[in-house]
Amino acid sequence: MKNLVKISVVVVISTAIGFFSAISFSQIEIKPIKINDGSSDKDQKEFLKDVISRVKKDYVEEKTDRQLDEAAANGLLSSLDPHSSYLNEDALKEMQVQTKGEFGGLGIEITLEYQVVKVISAIEDTPAFAAGIKSGDYITKIEDKSAIGLSLEEVVKKLRGKPGTKVTITILRKGEKEPLVKTITRQIIKVKAVKAARFKDVAYIKINTFSEQANLGLTAELKKLKSQIGEKNLKGLVLDLRNNPGGLLDQAVEVSDTFLNKGQTIVSINGRNKEETKYFKDEADESLIPNIPIVILINEGSASASEIVAGALQDNNRAVIMGMKSFGKGSVQTVIPLDKNNGAIRLTTSLYYTPSDKSIQAHGIEPDIIVNEAKIEKTANNNLRDSEADLKGHIEVQVQKAISDSKKDQIDDNNSDIYDKDYQLARAIDLLRGINIYKHSTRKIATESK
């Protein structure tokens, strides 16, 4: 038996040399391997202790018991999926600050994919957004040092810093032949959960993040817009969830509740035990804008809570979803505090499902109407035919004034810029007005036919 073992070792080493001839074996110390003869099984707890003991004794750098225990915990959790991890006390406090809607850094939501940091979205009005960071970007270097293989907590720690200081990151982007290098100035990030604007007879609300202020901000802004426009004049609502990385589940449920009727399913959560599926349903009939058409804008940066709201209103036929397919982050992480101030574990415990029982995880929300990002460019005299080019006097003046007045009717000075630059938003507004024209026409035909 001993001879057989020796022969086997020789064959393995010979094969290794064949494949890795560039490796100098003088750098490798091969210690005797203890062969398990099957007489006894090691207890699994002893196995982990043995690994930690070996690292503590033989690793090139000295590590404390605390460092090794935390590394072991994080390695175990991060091997499960990109969203499970260990949170030490500092990381736990930081996560709690983020859900309040105010934190320091660049303003990006990130995840891990194949040990590489992937951007979920750059939050609007943050340094990362201004620098052009996009959903789907991969961060490969931070300050010219590789970020591949680092945990999320390690990456966040490197990206965070004193406000006003700069950090340089290298990103890979689909469609770009070369890596992109971005130098971004850190700021204290104060994310305003909700923004609003009026487009004449259409209300526009953008939810940037589902922090604790999301539903209160939505309700307050919607009431304000409804009063400004007038209930009878309100043609519709554009709910903008683009580049919204998500946030709190209860806020997603409350926002959905604002637009649905009592008893309608918002989202379900399935864990390991399918018999314990939890359903979240609307608790009250909508009262703010009943029967008013809604368009929800989503894109690749819409994730988690954003996908819950979009899926709930889509499946309940309460809104038209427009834009691009969402990110597909439909897993639920439960933060479980550990005893003796040992931080917490963030563990994926279940998956989100839309009311029609479609999994959000990795699939995302498919828009009803696909609209790519684009830019509207104006052309001179595009409203006049060549045969009318020689019109003089008051007729030409009146035509030009009518065109100008029409544009003023559509938008005011405060939001003309976004209408000109945001093609997806422009199409959403056009759709809402088109729906109202159609509804008015069908009512008129029905009345005339009586």
pLDDT tens, residue by residue, 311-342: 999 999 999 999 999 999 998 888 899 988 88
Question: What is the separation, in whole angstroms, between the first and last Cα of the chain?
Answer: 100
pLDDT of the residue at 103: 60
Catalytic residue among 134, 306, 329, 331: 329
What HEC string does 56-83 produce? HHHCCCCCCHHHHHHHHHHHHHHCCCCC
User: What are the strands, taking DSSP E only, across 208-343?
Assistant: 236-240, 265-270, 278-281, 294-298, 320-323, 331-337
Cα–Cα dist 223/423, whole Å = 26
How far apart are alpha carbons 117 and 138 in whole angstroms?
6
Question: Among 18, 243, 210, 25, which residue's Cα sits nearest to residue 135?
Answer: 243
Strands (E) across 128-201 are located at: 138-142, 145-146, 166-172, 180-185, 187-190, 194-199
Kindly indicate whether the domain formed by 191-450 is annotated with CATH number 3.90.226.10: yes
- Helix ranges (H only) for 208-288 are 214-229, 249-257
- The predicted structure's pLDDT at residue 26: 38
Give the pairing type, strands 344-353 and 138-142: unpaired
pLDDT, position 377: 61
For domain 102-190, give the fold: Pdz3 Domain (2.30.42)
Distance separating alpha carbons of residues 214 and 199, to the nearest angstrom: 22
Which pLDDT belongs to residue 320? 98
What CA dihedral angle connects 336, 337, 342 and 347, to 10 degrees? 10
Largest CA distance in the chain: 109
Q: Note the pLDDT of residue 388.
A: 44
Which residue of the set 211, 304, 326, 331 is catalytic?
304
In this predicted structure, what is the pLDDT of residue 332?
82
Catalytic-residue membership of 441: no
pLDDT tens for the chain, 450 residues long, are: 444 433 333 333 333 333 333 333 334 555 565 555 554 555 677 888 888 899 999 999 999 998 998 888 988 998 898 888 888 887 787 777 666 655 668 999 898 887 899 999 998 889 999 999 999 999 999 999 999 988 887 898 899 888 899 999 999 999 999 999 999 999 988 778 999 999 999 999 999 999 998 999 999 999 999 999 998 999 999 999 999 999 899 999 999 999 999 999 999 999 888 778 999 999 988 888 999 999 999 999 999 999 999 999 999 999 999 999 999 999 888 889 998 888 899 999 999 999 999 999 989 999 999 999 876 665 555 544 444 444 445 555 555 555 455 444 444 444 555 566 889 999 999 999 999 888 777 665 655 555
CA distance 432 to 279: 31
What predicted TM-score, i.e. pTM, was given to this entire model? 0.72
Instruction: Provide the residue type at 134 as one letter.
Output: K
**What is the pLDDT at residue 28?**
54
CA–CA separation, 222 vs 320, rounded Å? 18
Identify the DSSP state of 247.
B
**Can you tell me which residue has the tokens 């070792």?**
9
Q: Which of 107, 350, 367, 352 is nearest to 241 (CA)?
A: 367
Structure tokens at 319: 């809104």
Look at the alpha carbons of 151, 134, 320, 407 in this order and tell me if their dihedral is positive or negative.
positive
Phi, psi of 269 (to 5 degrees): -125, 120
Known catalytic residue at 408: no
Contact 152, 111 (CB under 8 A): yes
Give the chain's radius of gyration (CA, Å): 29
Which residue out of 137, 240, 282, 315 is catalytically annotated? 315
Contact by Cβ (8 Å): 309, 354: no
Decide if 329 is catalytic.
yes
Write down how long the chain is: 450
Helix or strand holding residue 325 (H, E): none
Sign of the Cα pseudo-torsion (65, 60, 345, 123, in order): positive
Residue from 257, 265, 273 nearest 358 by CA: 265
Tokens of 380: 């001179």
Q: How far apart are CA 450 and CA 371, in angstroms?
A: 40
Domain boundaries, the chain: 102-190, 191-450
